[in-house]
Amino acid sequence: MGVRENMRALIAAGGTGGHIYPGLTIANEIKARYPGAEIVFVGTGHGLEKDIIPRAGYPLEMVSVQYFRRAISLDLLRTGLVAWRGLRQSSRLIKRLRPDIVVGTGGYVAGPVLLAAALRRVPTLIQEQNALPGITNRILSRFVQSIALGYPEAARYFPRDGRVMVTGNPIRSEITAMNRADAVQRLQLHPDYRTVVVFGGSQGGLSINRAMRELAPRLNAEDGLQVIHQTGKRSYDEIARQALGKGLDQTASGLPEIVQDGCIRIVPYIHDMPAALAAADLVVGRAGALSIAEITARGLPAILIPFPYAAENHQEKNARVLEEAGAARVLLDEAVTGESLGDLIFQLLQNRNLLSRMAANSQKLGKVNATHVIVDRIAELAGWC
């Protein structure tokens, strides 16, 4: 594998973890292949990238971006001015750093950065995670050289001229590396019990948390069952106090980081998601593109509860892909109660043949080599191979 000096990539990723973590996964694979390569992230001062990227050890450059307002108003003029400033900042940044490749994994910041790169004739690639692409990537597709899709269903929104490839979404190698026995031991779970992992994204999910509290007595009455419930940091104090029987007027001081309510382990955040997924028999959660990529890479059956306020309802589009493939059941947020969620959980757990078929269908959708394929294309575009 040929390696030359001054190899450099820019990755534009901002806003949410769903855009940032794919960029980090791609960056880590580039570094693993080309240890001498320099990788610089581009983001804004408003999203999670300002905390996540430096903590991951990568430099972060900032540009100006703003949510695109479609209604004609004074705010639209301001948005246009900010967009023009962001494009100029991006152009100067690319001129200064002279990258071999610019990659966009989502967020409004990808717009000016990739457009500036295209205008300067720097090779460009966008990685679209969702079955329904965002407006920024749909616009950028007219200018970039390559488009890597997480879902084949997204292809209809992009040009049919050979630039699109369906790769799947990039996931951490640790997700598929762990076996169940090691995961159960690491998490101190019972090796013979059925395991349900419940999470509502990094910030939790209010409807899921409420339903899980209503469902707790029913879960605890079931033999041979263990549940890991991620509440999200914002909701943990309240949920933990409820589980411990403490009044809600009490302060949260002294609350443990893990609360055990019968068979339910309540945590603010699942730090070891590779182990949790390796131990799981069934997953309950939101339908973010990265979560689904990890679930299908493990070949897990799922109950998906799409976040109802996701842009253009893209989470429901993601979830329906799995439902149509027989890999998941979809429960809309408005219909989530302790009873409806409990009925679905027990319907699946009590039908091992159905659960096995769903697991097999999930595994068929999994793209375990997505990161490698994406970085192969990046290396080709950048002239590194």
Q: What is the pTM of this model?
A: 0.89
Complete domains list, the chain, with CATH: 8-171+368-382 (3.40.50.2000), 174-365 (3.40.50.2000)
pLDDT of residue 312: 87
Taking the alpha carbons at both ends of the chain, their separation in whole angstroms is: 7
pLDDT digits (tens, 9 = 90+) for 149-181: 999 999 999 999 999 999 999 999 999 999 999
Among 213, 218, 215, 214, which residue's Cα sits nearest to residue 235? Answer: 213
For the segment 126-154, what is each residue's pLDDT rounded down to a tens digit? 999 999 998 889 999 999 999 999 999 99
Out of 143-152, 242-251, 364-373, pick the least confident. 242-251
Tens digits of residue pLDDT in 30-54: 999 999 999 999 999 888 899 999 9
Percent of the chain with pLDDT over 90: 82
Is residue 248 predicted with pLDDT exceeding 60? Answer: no
- Residue 165, strand partner residues: 148
Determine the Cα–Cα distance for residues 335 and 321; give it in Å rounded to an integer: 19
For 186, half-sphere exposure in the C-beta direction (CA atoms, 13 angstrom radius) is 16
As a whole number, the mean pLDDT across the chain is 92
pLDDT bucket at 198, cuts 50 / 70 / 90: very high
Q: Residue 366 and residue 295: Cα distance in Å, rounded?
A: 8
Beta strands in the chain (DSSP E): 8-13, 38-43, 60-62, 101-106, 124-128, 146-149, 164-166, 194-199, 225-230, 259-261, 264-267, 282-285, 302-304, 328-330
Q: What is the structure's pLDDT at 112?
A: 94
- Write down the pLDDT at residue 8: 98
What local confidence, expressed as pLDDT, does residue 29 receive? 97
